[in-house]
Amino acid sequence: MLTRAALKLAILAQSALLARAVSGSAELDACPGYKAKNVSTLGPKLTAELVLAGQPCNVYGTDIEKLALEVTYESSSRIHVEITDPSDARYEVPESVLPRPHANILLSPHTAAIRLNYTTSPFSFSIYRASTHEVLFSTGSHPIVFEPQYLRVKTDLPANANIYGLGEHTDSFRLPTHNYTRTLWSRDAYGVPQGTNLYGNHPIYFEHRTSGTHGVFLLNSNGMDIKINDTEGVGTTIEYNVIGGVLDFYFLAGSETDPTVVARQYAEVVGAPAEVPYWSFGLHQCRFGYQNFIDVANVITNYSAASIPLETMWTDIDYMYKRRIFTVDPDYFPLNRMREIVDYLHAHNQHFVLMTDPAVAYLPGEGYGPFDRGTAADVWLKAANGSSPFLGAVWPGVTVFPDWFNSRTQGYWNNEFAMFYSPESGLDIDGAWIDMNEPSSFCNYPCSDPFEQAREQDLPPARSTLPPDPATPIFGQTTLQKRVDHSHDDVQNPPYHIANFAGSGALSDKTAYTDAIHANGLIEYDTHNLYGTMMSTATHNAMLARRPGQRTLVITRSTFAGAGTRVGKWLGDNFSQWDHLRQSISGILGMAGVFHVPMVGADICGYAENTTETLCARWALVGAFYPFMRNHNADTSISQEFYRWPTVAEAARNALDIRYRLIDYLYTAFHTAHADGTPVLNPLWYKFPKDANTFGIDTQFFFGDAILVSPVLEENTTSVRVYYPDEAFYDFHSLTRTHVKGGGFVELTDVNLTSIPVAIKGGAVLPVRQKGAMTTAELRKTDFEIVVAPALDGTASGSLYLDDGISIVPKTSTIVSFAFSHQKLTVTGTFGHPTDVDVARVRLLGVQVAPRAVNINGKAINKSAVSYDSSKGVLDVTLKTPFNRGFTIQYQ
Give per-residue pLDDT as tens, 616-657: 999 999 999 999 999 999 999 999 999 999 999 999 999 999
* Peptide bond just before 689 cis, omega within 30 deg: no
C-beta of residue 569 within 8 angstroms of C-beta of residue 241: no
- Interatomic CA distance for residues 522 and 512, integer angstroms: 13
84-107 mean pLDDT: 95
1, amino acid identity = M
C-beta of residue 328 within 8 angstroms of C-beta of residue 335: yes
383, amino acid identity = A
Catalytic residues: 435, 438, 573
* pLDDT value at residue 11: 47
* pLDDT value at residue 3: 44
**Residue 853 CB neighbours (<10 A):** 11
Secondary structure (3-state) at 454 = helix
Give per-residue pLDDT as tens, 537-562: 999 999 999 999 999 999 999 999 99
Give per-residue pLDDT as tens, 753-803: 999 999 999 999 999 999 999 999 999 999 999 999 999 999 999 999 999
Does the structure show a pLDDT above 60 at 19?
no
Which of these CATH numbers, 1.10.760.10, 2.60.40.1180, 3.30.465.10, 3.40.50.300, describes 668-891? 2.60.40.1180
Residue 25 pLDDT level (bands cut at 50, 70, 90): low
- Domain borders along the chain are 4-270, 668-891
- Which of these, 485, 536, 557, lies nearest to 274 by C-alpha position? 536
- Which of these, 279, 164, 146, lies nearest to 595 by C-alpha position? 164
The vertex-298 CA angle with 293 and 300, nearest 5°, equals 100
- Which of these, 253, 226, 252, 246, lies nearest to 237 by C-alpha position? 226
Does the structure show a pLDDT above 80 at 58?
yes
- Interatomic CA distance for residues 569 and 555, integer angstroms: 5
Give per-residue pLDDT as tens, 356-408: 999 999 999 999 999 999 999 999 999 999 999 999 999 999 999 999 999 99
* pLDDT value at residue 425: 85
Secondary structure (3-state) at 197 = coil
- Interatomic CA distance for residues 319 and 296, integer angstroms: 10
668-891 and 4-270 share a CATH fold? yes
* pLDDT value at residue 462: 95
163, amino acid identity = I
Spatial strand order in the sheet of 796-802: 859-860, 854-856, 887-891, 824-831, 814-821, 796-802, 764-769, 784-789, 838-844, 874-882, 866-869
C-beta of residue 353 within 8 angstroms of C-beta of residue 431: yes
- Interatomic CA distance for residues 160 and 884, integer angstroms: 52
- Interatomic CA distance for residues 301 and 280, integer angstroms: 20
Does the structure show a pLDDT above 90 at 873?
yes
* pLDDT value at residue 488: 92
Give per-residue pLDDT as tens, 279-289: 999 999 999 99
- Interatomic CA distance for residues 258 and 279, integer angstroms: 32
Q: Which residues pair with 842 in a beta bridge?
A: 786, 877
Secondary structure (3-state) at 263 = helix
Beta strands in 397-462 (DSSP E): 397-400, 431-434
* pLDDT value at residue 480: 44
C-beta of residue 371 within 8 angstroms of C-beta of residue 416: no
135-150 mean pLDDT: 96
Q: Which residues pair with 51 in a beta bridge?
A: 35, 66
* Peptide bond just before 193 cis, omega within 30 deg: no
User: What pTM was estimated for this model as a whole?
Assistant: 0.96
The H or E element that residue 18 is part of is: helix 4-24
- Interatomic CA distance for residues 84 and 468, integer angstroms: 62
Enumerate long-range contacts of 67-70, CB under 8 Å, 24 or more apart. 67/34, 67/146, 69/36, 69/123, 70/45, 70/46
What ranges in 362-442 are assigned the alpha helix state H? 369-377, 409-420
Residue 232 pLDDT level (bands cut at 50, 70, 90): confident
Secondary structure (3-state) at 35 = strand
- Interatomic CA distance for residues 830 and 813, integer angstroms: 8
Secondary structure (3-state) at 546 = helix
68-83 mean pLDDT: 98
C-beta of residue 389 within 8 angstroms of C-beta of residue 400: yes
* pLDDT value at residue 17: 44
Secondary structure (3-state) at 562 = coil
At the fourth CATH level, which superfamily is domain 4-270? glycosyl hydrolase (family 31) (2.60.40.1760)
Cα–Cα distance list, 570 to 192, 412, 431, 533, 585 (Å):
12, 26, 14, 14, 12
- Interatomic CA distance for residues 778 and 769, integer angstroms: 11
Cα–Cα distance list, 672 to 481, 677, 776 (Å):
36, 7, 20
* pLDDT value at residue 27: 80
Residue 234 pLDDT level (bands cut at 50, 70, 90): confident
Q: Which residues pair with 389 in a beta bridge?
A: 382
Secondary structure (3-state) at 452 = helix
Give per-residue pLDDT as tens, 463-516: 999 999 999 999 984 344 567 899 999 999 999 999 999 999 999 999 999 999
Q: Which residues pair with 155 in a beta bridge?
A: 238
* pLDDT value at residue 10: 47
345-365 mean pLDDT: 98
* pLDDT value at residue 506: 96
Secondary structure (3-state) at 462 = coil
Give per-residue pLDDT as tens, 721-765: 999 999 999 999 999 999 999 999 999 999 999 999 999 999 999
% the chain with pLDDT above 70: 96
806-812 mean pLDDT: 98
**Residue 67 CB neighbours (<10 A):** 23
Give per-residue pLDDT as tens, 818-845: 999 999 999 999 999 999 999 999 999 9
Does the structure show a pLDDT above 50 at 573?
yes
- 887's CB contacts (< 8 A; 6+ apart) are 827, 839, 856, 857, 879, 881
% the chain with pLDDT above 90: 94
- 281's CB contacts (< 8 A; 6+ apart) are 311, 627, 629, 659, 663, 666, 667, 776
